[in-house]
Amino acid sequence: MKWNESLYFGTWQLSEDFHLVTRVEAIEIINFALEQGISNFDTANVYGNGSVESILGIILPEKARIVTKIPAMQKPILNELSDIQKCYPINWMAEKFEISMNRLRRNQIYCILLHNWCDNWESNCDEQISYLLNLKAKGFVEKIGISIPNNFVGSIPFELINKIDVIEAPYNYENNWISDNMLLLQSNNIEIILRSIFLQGKHKKLCESTESDKIIKEAFLKKCNLVIGMTKKINILKNIQSLKEAQK
């Protein structure tokens, strides 16, 4: 695996939710990432209330690989019974997907994920997954999948694993679900995208220390893809260098 195939530029930190960069600075940092050879971008319908998707739609070249996510109408709570039909009604999914595609200025993207997965949706998600499969069949997306929330401890039924292509999951010392399920998913050709490897930037000392280099290399050697949020040019260069060294 090559470093630029593995790395996804995480865009949540470019949104107003974090107040880390201005719109002008966000555009500058994305352009810098493109210049360095980054071509994979991870985003979501809700980041910055849609502003991040809009920026990406303006800047990214056609060849860029984009992963975005459909939010739940009612966000489910882990370990509590919830009805996927209320969280992801099909008309809601269709509306949010169309909005994302318009913002991204694309007729086709690499991958669409359900953003808010719950641990009790094992057997009643056929309608929602069928909708995603239909998007794939029509050529609107190349891959479909789900995003696993923090603190998830449930299971993914084999029937679902057989239908989806991608699982995005947190990977850090607070969240180890993916480590326990990695071999099973990879043996069934599931693309694993690891996110929150620095706990979404909460531990700034970790992000800026040599420990970050170790974490990135460890994740890369597991043959998984990585989402890393970056708001400074120096971080982009540092993370690319870590992946290049892991690739050797």
pTM, 2 dp: 0.94
Measured CA distances, 125 to 46, 192, 201 (Å): 22, 21, 32
Q: What is the CATH number of the domain that holds 213?
A: 3.20.20.100
- Give the pLDDT band of residue 155 (cuts 50, 70, 90): confident
Q: 22 lies in which domain range?
A: 3-247
Number of domains composing the chain? 1
Question: Is 171 within 8 Å of 196 (Cβ atoms)?
Answer: yes
38: three-class secondary structure by DSSP: coil
**Mean pLDDT of all residues in the chain?**
92
Give the pLDDT confidence score for residue 203 in this predicted structure: 52
Is the model more confident about 206 or about 167? 167
From 25-39, 79-93, 164-178, 208-222, the region with the lowest mean pLDDT: 208-222
Give the pLDDT confidence score for residue 208 in this predicted structure: 54
The predicted-structure confidence for 69-103, as pLDDT tens digits, reads as follows: 999 999 998 878 888 999 999 999 999 999 999 99
Give the pLDDT confidence score for residue 199 in this predicted structure: 77
Tell me how long the chain is.
Answer: 248
- 128: closest CA among 163, 169, 98, 85? 85
pLDDT higher than 80, residue 238:
yes
Give the pLDDT confidence score for residue 136 in this predicted structure: 98
The predicted-structure confidence for 193-208, as pLDDT tens digits, reads as follows: 999 988 755 555 555 5
Q: How many C-beta atoms lie closer than 10 Å to residue 57's C-beta?
A: 17
Measured CA distances, 130 to 13, 167, 194 (Å): 32, 17, 25
